[in-house]
Amino acid sequence: MEPHGGVCQTGQVPPRDRDYARATRRIETAVSRPELTPDEIVRSFLEESAELLGTSSSCWHATDPGTGALVDGAEAGGAPGSLAESLVYEYRRPDVNRFAELAIAREKVASIATATGDHPSSSARFREMIEPTGTADELRVVFSDAYGMWMSLVIFTQRRMTEEDLRFVSDVVPTATSAIRRAATMPVGEPVMSAAAEDGTAPSVLLLDACDHIVSADAMARKRLALLPSPGGDQAPGVISFLAARARWDRDGGPATARMRALDGRWFEIDVSVLDDAGSGNVAAVIQPAASEHVLDSVLRAMGLSAREREVAALLAQGRPTKSIATMLQLSPWTVQDHVKAVYAKTGVSRADLGALGAQPAITN
């Protein structure tokens, strides 16, 4: 690989300021269309930036805004490596630009070339998984704001990224993030009818081996698995593989957790824990319909409510009067009233309808 200099590895002249400016305007216009889904917003971002960045392939994942856990994903152009390989570098082996670190960093955009001082081969992920495909660099983007983490994106490029490239992407990320967050409240599409639609609230359990193959599952777990984006066969869905990796290698004493909407529109809560046969890599996953207060929290995040406003909204949904909320949260009644006004303004619903935002959809067969 030729060192990065005044000319791109592809032989093209590097972008100029006006090229970045034009691309910025195109992206901000493209991603701001209100009818787009989160997936379509990312695809629009990629389409408008591909030529400028020299994109060869990409992959992206919707995330649970509360935990940052991957819940669904897609790719374009045949991205290097697999989810299983990526998770090893993300959790088990030290490397640069891991999403767990980008999620809490001030800058939400990073490339391997810039992070390694233009020596990308010092990254094991690049050296072992990316470079053998002829890819020159990897650019990572986290779409997050004060309300949660909404999407992660990996762009594989034909040239090494520069600080100018990173500034360009950083400039458009806030607009794209706001669009993705707002789109997260949209319906998931045509509901998928399933016998699982009326399965009650009982938890269901499945067991995975060290390679994330489903070893055993109860009948209800099988029905619920059919409602999650899945690679098929006995391989666990991506969300469960991600949680399994987090539980195995990033342990904090509790299960790795995520909330997500299934293909039938309902919300599930998924908890993955390492089993007690240490070193085997076997895990147990529990899938159950998410509690209404958890669904409400996710919906309110997408509507742009702050942490305190979400607390107030949850208590309003329970029917608590303003004075009681003030006592419970140790706030003045006037402060609570200000929060109540903000809740109604941002959600567009009354107190009577607030609880319905956290209700599971009624689906009949």
Residues of each domain in the chain carrying CATH 3.30.450.40: 17-183
Please state, rounded to an integer, the average pLDDT across all residues of the chain: 88
For the ranges 67-76, 120-129, 289-298, 353-362, which has the lowest average pLDDT?
353-362
Q: Contact, 206 vs 284, CB < 8 A?
A: yes
228-255 pLDDT, tens digit per residue, is: 887 777 889 999 999 999 998 876 667 8
The CATH number given to 293-358 is 1.10.10.10
Residue 5's pLDDT band (cuts 50, 70, 90): very low
Q: What percentage of the chain carries pLDDT values higher than 90? A: 68
More confident residue, 194 or 7: 194
Here the tokens at position 225 are 């698995």
85-139 pLDDT, tens digit per residue, is: 999 999 888 899 999 899 999 999 999 999 999 999 999 999 999 999 999 999 9
286-309 pLDDT, tens digit per residue, is: 999 999 989 999 999 999 999 999
Q: State which H helix or E strand residue 124 sits in.
A: helix 124-125
Here the tokens at position 65 are 């805004």
Task: Please report, as a single letter, which amino acid is at residue 164.
Answer: E
Give pLDDT, residue 354: 86
3-state secondary structure 227-293: CCCCCCCCECCHHHHHHHHHHHHCCCCCCEEEEEECCCCCEEEEEEEECCCCCCCCEEEEEEECCHH
The dihedral through the CA atoms of 4, 9, 12, 16 has a sign that is negative
* Angle, CA of 226, 302 and 82, to the nearest 5°: 45
CA-based nearest residue to 244, from 61, 104, 83, 75: 83
Residues of each domain in the chain carrying CATH 1.10.10.10: 293-358
pTM for this prediction: 0.87
Tell me which range, 244-258, 277-291, 340-354, is most confidently predicted by mean pLDDT: 340-354
Give pLDDT, residue 175: 96
Q: State which H helix or E strand residue 340 sits in.
A: helix 333-347
Q: Which residues contact 276 (CB under 8 A, 6 or more apart)?
A: none
Give pLDDT, residue 219: 93
Residue 365's pLDDT band (cuts 50, 70, 90): very low
Give pLDDT, residue 38: 94
Here the tokens at position 31 are 């991603």
The CATH number given to 17-183 is 3.30.450.40
Give pLDDT, residue 12: 60
Q: Contact, 307 vs 314, CB < 8 A?
A: no
Residues of each domain in the chain carrying CATH 3.30.450.20: 195-290
pLDDT at 187 over 60: no
- The one-character DSSP state at 306 is -
Give pLDDT, residue 198: 54
Residue 205's pLDDT band (cuts 50, 70, 90): very high
Specify the 3-state DSSP secondary structure of 150: strand
Cβ neighbours, 10 Å, residue 206: 22
- Taking the C-alpha atoms of residue 119 and residue 130, their distance in angstroms, rounded to an integer, is 14
Give pLDDT, residue 364: 47
CATH architecture of 195-290: 2-Layer Sandwich (3.30)
Q: What percentage of the chain carries pLDDT values higher than 70? A: 90
- Average pLDDT score over residue span 331-355: 91
- Average pLDDT score over residue span 322-342: 94
CA-based nearest residue to 260, from 248, 272, 249, 251: 272
Give pLDDT, residue 286: 96
Longest dimension (CA), the chain: 68
Cβ neighbours, 10 Å, residue 201: 9
310-328 pLDDT, tens digit per residue, is: 999 999 998 899 999 999 9
Give pLDDT, residue 302: 93
Q: How big is the chain by its Cα radius of gyration, in Å?
A: 22
Q: State which H helix or E strand residue 47 sits in.
A: helix 38-53
Give pLDDT, residue 230: 76
**Separation of first and last alpha carbons in the chain:** 58
pLDDT at 208 over 50: yes
